[in-house]
Amino acid sequence: MRAIGKVAVGAVVALGAVAASLVLVDRGVRPGILDTSGCTAEVDGHSVDIDLEQAENAALITAISIERGMPARAASIALATAFQESKLYNIDYGDRDSVGLFQQRTSQGWGSIEQLMDPVYATHAFYDALAKVDGYREMEITVAAQEVQRSGFPDAYADHEDDARALASALTGNSPGTMWCDVPGDAAEAPDKLDESGLVARASVVRRDLEARFGALALGGFEPEGVSNGHMEGSAHYEGRAIDVFVRPINAVNRQRGWALATYLVANADRLDVNTIIFDDRIWHAGSRSDDGWTDYRVPSSSRGDRAILEHRDHVHVDVID
């Protein structure tokens, strides 16, 4: 079963899946059992299946660690904590006054309920506290998580270490191309008029979202009034639907960063109406092919130019649904 919510085969398994789904739907935190969308991360033989909401939250948690310059270990600790505390859902209830992704409590000085229900605020608050834990990089994940959370069940975080490591490794780019999502690839109609930067509305949303999560980025592939050359025939760039995020020069560090950006985009593809992502000679498509994962990118035979650029090794290409 690739994604959470798929109907299981076999009567006993099916009944169990229905029962579990009914409980979760009642909590208002998971799609219905017939929803086949979701994301998969496969790292070093360990597979994690999560739904789209969980994937978006996991990607946010990891992106903030990258923006703050924290190691992948920090993302693993934060993800294991959020798995245990909220199952990676931004819930507005919990034990006593606990709310949000990390079930932080207003009475313990974490912030107001409104603040803690903001995933960005809550994640920064978690990392602020983690950064003060001396030696957290060398600690066991469950120990570091407990240092921050002071939970009544200090060993519970260990149950989620493998899943957290796999997601963190994929989302930080340490394990390239190991996370993909099955998304419908459709969206409501939107104006196709170009804005002042030369992008359609959906592409502008992607641009703003990337800059909010990762800070200043080297962006290209668009210009005021649109681009008319420099890309292959039929490119989404000519319609203002595409953005290139440059990660130059081509080296191991920038390759990892590129994969972090690409994996963030695939985890948020449904929310951001993403159609295609290309990086490092690999491609992911939304819609009917989305569950194929990352596949080899084939440079059109008619293309001429620097092979590394044509294979998108120095930039992440993302375009949105038409």
Q: Determine the average pLDDT of the residues in 227-232.
A: 90
Helix (H, G, I), strand (E, B), or coil: what is residue 165? helix
Q: Determine the average pLDDT of the residues in 282-305.
A: 90
- In the chain, % of residues over pLDDT 90: 78
Q: Determine the average pLDDT of the residues in 260-282.
A: 98
Structure token digits, residue 10:
């076999």
Task: Give the pLDDT of residue 276.
Answer: 97
Per-residue confidence band for 180, with pLDDT thresholds at 50, 70 and 90:
very high
Order of strands, edge to edge, in the sheet holding 38-43?
46-50, 38-43, 179-182
Is residue 20's pLDDT more than 50? Answer: no
Q: How far apart are alpha carbons 74 and 57 in whole angstroms? A: 15
Residues 6+ apart with CB under 8 A from 157: 80, 81, 84, 141, 142, 145, 146, 149, 151
Task: Give the pLDDT of residue 152.
Answer: 75
pLDDT digits over 158-179, tens only? 999 999 999 999 999 999 999 9
Q: Determine the average pLDDT of the residues in 35-48.
A: 92
Per-residue confidence band for 35, with pLDDT thresholds at 50, 70 and 90:
low
Per-residue confidence band for 232, with pLDDT thresholds at 50, 70 and 90:
confident
The distance of Cα 177 from the centroid of its chain, to the nearest Å, equals 12
Per-residue confidence band for 10, with pLDDT thresholds at 50, 70 and 90:
very low
Per-residue confidence band for 155, with pLDDT thresholds at 50, 70 and 90:
confident
Per-residue confidence band for 4, with pLDDT thresholds at 50, 70 and 90:
very low
Residue 290 sits at φ, ψ, to 5 deg, of -65, -35
Task: Give the pLDDT of residue 16.
Answer: 39
Write down the pTM of the prediction.
0.87
Structure token digits, residue 234:
């039929």
Is residue 17's pLDDT more than 70? Answer: no
Task: Annotate 40-64 with b (16+ C-beta within 10 A) or e (fewer).
Answer: bbbbeeeebbbbbbbbbbbbbbbbb
Per-residue confidence band for 30, with pLDDT thresholds at 50, 70 and 90:
very low
* 8 A C-beta contact, residue 196 and residue 204: no
Is residue 312's pLDDT more than 50? Answer: yes
Per-chain mean pLDDT for the chain: 89
More confident call, 54 vs 150: 54
Is residue 275's pLDDT more than 80? Answer: yes
Of 32-46, 79-93, 177-191, 210-224, where does mean pLDDT reach its minimum? 32-46
**Closest Cα to residue 267, out of 164, 171, 162, 202?**
171
Q: Where are the domains of the chain?
A: 37-175, 187-320
pLDDT digits over 49-105, tens only? 999 999 999 999 999 999 999 999 999 999 999 999 999 999 999 989 999 999 999
Structure token digits, residue 245:
């995020």
